[in-house]
Structure 1
């Protein structure tokens, strides 16, 4: 895996946490990367009648400097930027124009009744950002005494060249980060037999024995694929593999909780057009039900819809 060299820490509406900043500094130090802290506020912030533009600018300068200071103290090359605009538009524009290879972002608060539901800005960033996005939960939990746990979720239900390439990319990222963080690595695939409930219906009319045989074949095929991926990526005994039958988002959440996972790595479809606004992507559903961060990675060459003519979901 190519190491992260240019990391963008996206801070929206002055919302940040100690955990987010500590993670960004650790990643930069481990990869000898440069850090850019970009603070993005929406235009409405400048319309506060109780605060002049000059006063706000002074506050903004001091706030961003305080955020970046620990990274500078650690000897990391740091750049700070201030942008007024719509958050996910501006982050994607920076990634496209300046070639950042990782975005670290704290999930925005979404209300007291469903605080882990991703906002429109964060959903769009996960779906459309050209580079990997490290989305962190909104909490400042103490670092656990145990070694970190990384869970990488693969999809071995198909063996197309594109899916194999994405699975290998996910495994390479997981292995690289596990070595850096001295973390235990777990590899998961959630499988099921598509249309099982209809196989014994009047149109197909398979026997229970035939369905059971299909279940065994499907499980065996997925087990062989996940073992082959782990072996060909040179991970071997360094990872523990899990093959679970069920619904992907639910089983990923369940295993992540039982392992006390710190980071889930998974692919994202990178949908475009109308499909980009359809809620239901596994990565999005998983994030709403876990207490850890997610590193979302797109397939190589995956394109996203240009954002210049779109309306920000939080406008």
Structure 2
């Protein structure tokens, strides 16, 4: 099962209360026997700062900030390295660009960071949401009350395949990738694996507001058909995953399936909370060819309602809108 990580980047945005974040990153790196880099990324001084500071003071302040950041991180590295070998780097500039270009340059296959605490960050698209949109590798955002060991892992799948043929293939591969990662996390953590799919036949607000009339008996029949269709799609995915795994792994995991009728933008989060979920694995981009395209806002709205860790997965062929400079040599 090709879902383990080999080269992990842990992102810190300040020097406060970071030991638990690094401890979780070390735990994940150990579980995957992966290399680990800790990046302290800070916003550069505002561009207009040199308008209110003499030029030498502006340069001195920037250099002082960088020097102090490096000294702090070097001291922390000595402590953290006793638990697991790791590297550290300081970046001062634009965190999103520094992280994504770092992923492209050094071929990181997972980014780990703590979730942002500010309501406005979530509401207006803070760094977490922008990484879910634009980072080319999986992004694992830890919750503020992160547990040292996970007990419940959720794979959130979109089993609706009523799309053009070329898009169905992408969606099926994304679902299988989500399931692979969730299954691996569950195995490593000895956790319960839950699979959640929410479907909505007719948007409830349209029915409720009387825009269309619906035969209730016919609707119940249709809902039963959709449920059966999604259950068959899930069984097909599980069969494909089982063929990749060692014998009896699926029996060991005993995944619990939750196929729920409701409004996805609300019920994915509600179901996840009801399961006392520690981490949810979900797709944050559903279409290729549209850089940074969030699937209809469903993923973004769901993430903003969650209080657990989130692992965001991109579909095969995703192309980040952030690029390396053409003159920059990519390190192999």
TM-score > 0.5 by shorter chain: yes
The DSSP-based 3-state class of the residue aligned with 1:285 is: helix
Match of 1:121 among 118, 127, 141: 127
| Whole-angstrom distance in 2 between the partners of 1:74 and 1:197 | 53
Match of 2:177 in 1: 169
Q: Is 2:219 the counterpart of 1:211? A: yes
Are 1:63 and 2:72 counterparts?
Answer: yes
Aligned counterpart, 1:103: 111
Normalization by structure 1: what TM-score? 0.83
The one-character-per-residue Cα deviations of 1:93-149 (angstroms, maximum 9, x if unpaired) are 1111111000001123325xx575474322211101100000122x245647xx621
User: Which position in structure 2 is the counterpart of 1:79?
Assistant: 87
Aligned with 2:159 (options 156, 167, 170): 156
Deviates more, 1:294-303 or 1:269-278: 269-278
Verify the 8 A CA contact 2:292 2:320 in the aligned structure 1. no
Deviation at 1:232, TM superposition (A): 2.4
* 1:130 matches 2:146: no
Range 252-261 or range 160-169, more displaced: 252-261
Secondary structure at the residue paired with 1:264?
Answer: strand
What aligned pairs does 1:213-228 form with structure 2 within 5 A after superposition? Answer: 213-228=221-236
Consecutive unaligned residues of structure 1, counting only runs of 5 or more, are 310-315
Q: TM-score by structure 2 length?
A: 0.79
Conservation of the 8 A alpha-carbon contact between 1:253 and 1:289: yes
Partner of 2:105, secondary structure, is helix
Count of residue pairs brought into register by the alignment: 303
Q: 2-side partners of 1:189 and 1:270: how far apart?
A: 15
| Cα contact 1:108–1:118 (8 A) shared by 2 | no
Partner of 1:312: none
Distance 1:172 1:210, change over 3 A: same
Alignment correspondent of 1:285: 301
Compute the RMSD of aligned alpha carbons. Answer: 3.4
CA–CA separation in structure 2 for the residues paired with 1:270 and 1:203: 29
CA contact (8 A) 1:150 1:178 kept: yes
The residue that corresponds to 2:272 in the other structure is: 256
What residue number does 1:32 align with? 33
Does 2:246 correspond to 1:230?
Answer: no
Partner Cα distance (1:271, 1:169) in 2? 15
